[in-house]
Amino acid sequence: MKVFDKIAVFGCKATTLFLLDNLNLPFPVRHLITITPEAGQKHQVADYLDLKAAAEARGIEVYQAKYYSLKHDDDLMHINSLGIDVAIVMGWQRLIPAQVLSGLRIGAFGMHGSSMNLPLGRGRSPMNWSIIEGRKVFYTNLFRYDPGVDSGDVVDTFKFQITDRDTAETMHFKNTLAMKYLVERNIDKLVRNDFQLTKQDDSITPTYYPKRSPEDGLIDWAQDVEVLARFIRAVTRPFDGAFTFSGDQKISIWDAHVFDVHDFGYEKWAAGSVVAVFESGKFLVKCFGGLLLVTACDAPFAVQKGMQFGNDALEIKRFERNYLGFFDIPGEE
């Protein structure tokens, strides 16, 4: 059986580099398709990493696309001229256009996961949304790209746990390890074009998570303390973080957890009030349902007891919910 072993990786994030460094494949990665630092900044790619030097040092030929969409004529001509057999997509966060897919001998294979498994939970930021929603498991799918949004047929699936300590960062760690495992488990079949595909269940109406932007990290102190703790974990590094204001001064909160459901005498304090500051600089915020312990933040001043956090007249975005109260919405992205 013929082996089609001209492998390329599409990606532009730290997770892409981890994959390049840790994939244990019987065939070398020949090409990396990525974007420039300018494009990474323009498109606000969270955890963007300029991979050119690192990939070239590993003997990988690098192409930095002119446009993140890959629809520029120069991008299409160059990528299609490479004669790629199998493309592994990791840390790309964009669709692969049909003009590129049609030029691959076998196909492009990437990851999409959700806490409910496909076709539920397509779309944007599924790991962040899973923490926000308090989900307990996450399914990572290795699927073959088609021109749609996360609609391709599935090659293989791996399920992992979402714990009460997981953050946006640790979810990325787990998801990257899951992707590494799935690629290694299936690469021999992929390059021989001898693999099975499972269609997504067309009896289920697909649902889509909405895009999250940095400004969506504004904290709503009217929320329950458990909801706030999950929210902070969900948008912390490598993303832009949760933030609030004291007056007109912005404070970024990177790490916090529920301290206690009891109020320790602070029952009458308003939600969002700093009720205690410890010698370490960690502090407690009164919330509905209990106290929140903030253990890491960036502030232009020392946080003091009695400060009242708010939104500085900024509007808190309210995302649409489905009939179960979650944020994946039936229809198309």
Domains of the chain, earliest start first = 7-209 (3.40.50.170), 214-310 (3.10.25.10)
Q: Give the pLDDT band of residue 218 (cuts 50, 70, 90).
A: very high
Above 90 in pLDDT, residue 47? no
Above 70 in pLDDT, residue 128? yes
Collect all residues with Cβ–Cβ distance below 8 Å to 187 and sequence separation of at least 6. 25, 26, 27, 86
| Sheet with 154-161, side-by-side order of all strands | 61-65, 29-35, 7-10, 86-89, 107-114, 137-144, 154-161
pLDDT on residue 135: 98
Q: For the chain, how big is the Rg over CA atoms in Å? A: 22
Above 90 in pLDDT, residue 177? yes
137-159 tens-digit pLDDT: 999 999 999 999 999 999 999 99
d(CA 18, CA 23): 8
- pTM for this predicted structure: 0.94
67-89 core/surface letters (b: 16 or more CB in 10 A; e: else)? ebebeeeebbeebeebebbbbbb
> What tokens were used for 160?
């992992």
d(CA 306, CA 285): 10
Collect all residues with Cβ–Cβ distance below 8 Å to 321 and sequence separation of at least 6. 327
Residue type, 141: N
d(CA 15, CA 140): 15
pLDDT on residue 333: 63
Longest CA pairwise span in the chain (Å): 74
- Give the chain's mean pLDDT: 96
Out of 49-53, 67-71, 200-204, least confident range? 67-71
6-37 tens-digit pLDDT: 999 999 999 999 999 999 999 999 999 999 99
35-63 core/surface letters (b: 16 or more CB in 10 A; e: else)? bbeebbeeeebbbbbbbbebbeeeebeeb
Mean pLDDT value across residues 259-270: 97
